[in-house]
Amino acid sequence: MLKITIFIILGTLFLFIPSNAYAENVPEWVKNTAGWWSTDAISENEFVNAIEFLIKDGLIVVSDTQQNESQTSGIPEWVKNNAGWWADGQIPDSAFIDGIEFLIKDGIIQISTEPIICPYGLHTYFSSQTFEFKQKLCSDDLFNLAYIEKQHWEPSDWVSIQRIDEQRGQIQINSHGFRGSEFNIEKPKNTYRIFAVGSSPTFGNGVHDSETWPAYLQKIFDNMDSNPKIEILNAGLAGATAKSQTIMIKEFLVDFEPDMILVYDGMNDFSSNTSVEQWKNYWKDACKFGNENNFETVITVQPLLGLGNRDFSEDNQKFLKNDNYEQKIQNYKIHTQIPELKQYCSSVEDFRFIFNDHPVPIFFDDAHVHPQGNKIIADNLFSLISPLIKFEYMDEAQLENNLVLFPKTKSEFYKTDDYKDSVQEIISLKGINLHGLNIDSINFENEKMDYANFYNSKISNSKFSPLSSNTDFRYAIIDNSIFENVDMTKSMFFNTMISNSKFTNSIWDMSDWLHAVVATSSFINENFQNSDLSYSLFLGNDFENVNFSKSQMISIQFTQNNSNDLDFQNSNLETSLFRQENMKNMNFNNIRGNGMIFFGTMVNESSFVNANLQSSNFVDSSLKNIDFTNANLKNANFTNANLDNVNFLNANLENVFFKDTTLQCFNHIICEN
């Protein structure tokens, strides 16, 4: 007996279709699916997916009634007949709904009150979490830039405008007048073609061909290796308005067989004399044209400098003060037309605040963005359009392998026939967004977690995956968790607080630990090479065989840690503080250590060969068996320090301050006194 469960937020059972709903809103693929099901071209599961879409989108409204245990073995033939007749337009909507209502009442299709919102909510990792947790996990408001190559942030990159120049390459314009490489007017077989439409922010003023948002969106789809291929073409034109873009769509782009027109718009109409009513009417006309010509039309209202909740760079602040810009931005009101446009377009969304909570500079003027901003735009657009992509042109032989995009905000393909029974096996947590969540007692060790986002999350009693590069833990609070055999290359721990946790046999190469606070944790066989740990605090930890070489560690503080066999060679430790440390077998060779402070610290059996320790402070410290060969110790302070068996061969001891110091040293004249 077939028994299919639909998961929706409200488990209610009386169905009806709002008046005129199907005239403009129900996608044609739903009727196609009903027709295919009636002829057994597709499975019941695929048909149920279509019904679930109608319920979730409000096109079938479900009200309270009684649901019984199933009394029927299988779906009656008349229900399938109704579906086929409805698909052919032979019966009204109400007759089709009668069949669906029968399946629900008879228990063949079961609607659960369990509020599982997306496949991540079904994953065993999150099975014990609260509804609020799953709701946030699946929220359309959370976007994470995954599946594209992330660069390790350097301060110089944050502030550079990154404009086109000879070294970075010239702008490529193809024979059709669009930015990018050549393509054929005739759409290739097995291809879903999307045109990116907009003005200069879409064209990509100030960035390389590979750094426009259409280029980044193409990378996301390419990395998914989808079949059919998703093709993104950049039709952005500097100075374009809603009027000119609508004309281009109707008189030019339609000849290229588009499956979707994806619009990122608003800047030029805002700065011209176009009224919000005119703007709405232009796009209303374009969306109607798309419906008539069988392509999706998606409209987004672009962000501008001065909108949203974010800090602005000094250059941004200067720009905001010019020409009363802050007052002008209050007149950016085209988003007020979104509700009406949604009646005609495939999707219309307000993107004005997509840059909130991103701590890097985004804009280099009022509307154009750095490459990092274009990545954020691309990810938001990917999340928006994924559920709209439908491969309706597939022939019957391909239908059994048809792919549906689900859920709305996650960058994963799922095979329809496999989805229900094997969701736990096919869901990848790569790039998952856990921003701001309370994560307790979850074991991620068998999952790929690259590019995962734990920004501002509270994490406790959890264990992390070996594959976790480029993970974002900024501002997170982590307690009693395990990072064992993990690869955290290029991960971010900026302003993260960590306590009572265990780090073993892991790689943190090129990671960012600026301003992190780490207490009462253990680090064994760790590699932090080429990382930035400046201004961070390590308190009461145990370190064993940790590699900090070639790292930035300016003003780092080590207090009351037990450390053995740490490698700091070739690192920058200027103005760092080691207070009441118990350290042994340390390698400080070739460091930059101007102004370092060792206060009340034991640094025995360690090496400072070729180290620059000018103006450093070793007050009350034990420095037994230290090698200072060729070290620069000019103006250093060794008050009350123990220099038993210390090697000062060729060391610079100019103006060094020795008071109450044990000078059982060798290879320097000072040791002979």
Reported as a single tens digit per residue, the pLDDT across 582-617 is 999 999 999 999 999 999 999 989 999 999 999 999
Report yes or no on 477 lying in a domain. no
Tell me the backbone φ, ψ of residue 88, rounded to 5 degrees: -85, 0
The verdict on 161 and 181 lying in the same domain is yes
pLDDT of residue 48: 66
Helical spans, DSSP H, in 265-330: 267-271, 276-292, 314-321, 325-329
pLDDT of residue 207: 78
Mapping DSSP to helix (H, G, I), strand (E, B) and coil, where does residue 507 land?
Answer: strand
The verdict on 167 and 37 lying in the same domain is no
Report yes or no on 512 lying in a domain. no
Report yes or no on 522 lying in a domain. no
The verdict on 92 and 135 lying in the same domain is no
**DSSP tag of 250:** H
Expressed in angstroms, the distance from the first to the final Cα of the chain is 97
Report yes or no on 645 lying in a domain. no
Q: Which of 389, 27, 382, 379 is nearest to 192 (CA)?
A: 389
Cis bond leading into 361, ω under 30°?
no
pLDDT of residue 424: 39
pLDDT of residue 587: 95
| Residue 221 pLDDT greater than 70, yes or no | yes
Residue 197: CATH number of its domain: 3.40.50.1110
How far CA 283 is from CA of 233, 287, 337, 417, in Å, comes to 20, 6, 10, 37
The verdict on 9 and 129 lying in the same domain is no
Report yes or no on 541 lying in a domain. no
Mapping DSSP to helix (H, G, I), strand (E, B) and coil, where does residue 197 land?
Answer: strand
Strand partners, 563: 543, 583
Q: Which of 286, 300, 231, 221 is nearest to 254 (CA)?
A: 286
Structure tokens at 217: 């969106």
pTM over 0.85: no
pLDDT of residue 91: 83
Q: What is the largest CA-CA distance in the chain?
A: 110
CA distance linking residue 139 with residue 116, whole number of Å: 12
**DSSP tag of 393:** T
How far CA 109 is from CA of 35, 59, 264, in Å, comes to 18, 18, 40
CA distance linking residue 405 with residue 210, whole number of Å: 26
CA distance linking residue 234 with residue 281, whole number of Å: 24
| Residue 120 pLDDT greater than 60, yes or no | no
Angle (deg, nearest 10), helices 28-38 and 77-87 = 140
Report yes or no on 199 lying in a domain. yes
Find all residues with CB under 8 Å of 500, minimum gap 6, and list them: 479, 480, 519, 520, 521
More confident residue, 19 or 237: 237
CA distance linking residue 476 with residue 455, whole number of Å: 6
**350: part of which helix (H) or strand (E)?**
strand 347-350
The verdict on 100 and 182 lying in the same domain is no
Q: Which of 407, 513, 469, 616 is nearest to 151 (CA)?
A: 469
Structure tokens at 440: 């307790």
Cis bond leading into 115, ω under 30°?
no
The verdict on 129 and 190 lying in the same domain is no
More confident residue, 254 or 87: 254
Contact 325, 319 (CB under 8 A): yes
Q: Count of domains in the chain?
A: 3
Give DSSP secondary structure letters for 658-669.
Answer: -SS-B---BSSG
Stretch 642-661: mean pLDDT:
93
The verdict on 162 and 280 lying in the same domain is yes
Structural domain containing residue 49: 4-112
> Domain boundary residue among 394, 426, 458?
426
Helical spans, DSSP H, in 435-572: none
| Residue 162 pLDDT greater than 60, yes or no | no
Stretch 13-37: mean pLDDT:
55
Report yes or no on 42 lying in a domain. yes
The verdict on 184 and 323 lying in the same domain is yes
Pairing of strands 14-16, 61-63: antiparallel
Structure tokens at 251: 């008189």
Contact 551, 530 (CB under 8 A): yes
Q: Report the phi/psi class of residue 599: left, alpha or beta, with left for phi > 0 and alpha for psi in -120 to 50.
A: beta
CA distance linking residue 670 with residue 658, whole number of Å: 10
State what percent of residues in the chain have pLDDT above 90: 37
CA distance linking residue 76 with residue 58, whole number of Å: 26
pLDDT band at residue 426, thresholds of 50, 70 and 90?
A: very low
The verdict on 310 and 420 lying in the same domain is no
Q: Which of 34-38, 401-405, 627-631 has the lowest mean pLDDT?
A: 401-405
Report yes or no on 555 lying in a domain. no
How does pLDDT run across 441-468, given as a tens digit for each residue? 888 887 778 878 888 889 999 998 787 8
Mapping DSSP to helix (H, G, I), strand (E, B) and coil, where does residue 513 land?
Answer: coil
**How many CB atoms are located within 10 Å of the residue 72 CB?**
14
* C-alpha triplet 281, 284, 290: angle, nearest 5°: 145
How does pLDDT run across 45-102, given as a tens digit for each residue? 667 656 655 655 555 554 444 445 445 456 677 878 888 888 888 888 777 777 777 7
CA distance linking residue 410 with residue 120, whole number of Å: 9
Structure tokens at 280: 């709405």
The verdict on 264 and 292 lying in the same domain is yes
Helices H, strands E: what count in the chain?
Answer: 18, 27
Find all residues with CB under 8 Å of 278, minimum gap 6, and list them: 242, 243, 269
CA distance linking residue 188 with residue 177, whole number of Å: 20
> Domain boundary residue among 403, 434, 450?
403
Amino acid sitting at position 212: T
Q: Which of 431, 522, 521, 417 is nearest to 469 (CA)?
A: 431
CA distance linking residue 52 with residue 258, whole number of Å: 27
How does pLDDT run across 163-210, given as a tens digit for each residue? 333 333 457 888 888 888 899 989 998 899 999 999 888 988 877 788
Structure tokens at 492: 């971010």
* C-alpha triplet 396, 399, 404: angle, nearest 5°: 150
| Residue 401 pLDDT greater than 70, yes or no | no
| Residue 317 pLDDT greater than 80, yes or no | no
The verdict on 215 and 253 lying in the same domain is yes
Burial of 63 per CB tally in 10 Å (0-12, 13-18, 19+) = exposed
For tokens 């000072």, name the residue. Answer: 670
How does pLDDT run across 273-316, given as a tens digit for each residue? 778 899 999 999 999 999 999 999 999 988 887 776 655 555 66
More confident residue, 511 or 1: 511
The verdict on 125 and 76 lying in the same domain is no
Averaged confidence pLDDT in the chain = 76
pLDDT band at residue 636, thresholds of 50, 70 and 90?
A: very high
pLDDT of residue 558: 95
> Domain boundary residue among 368, 403, 438?
403
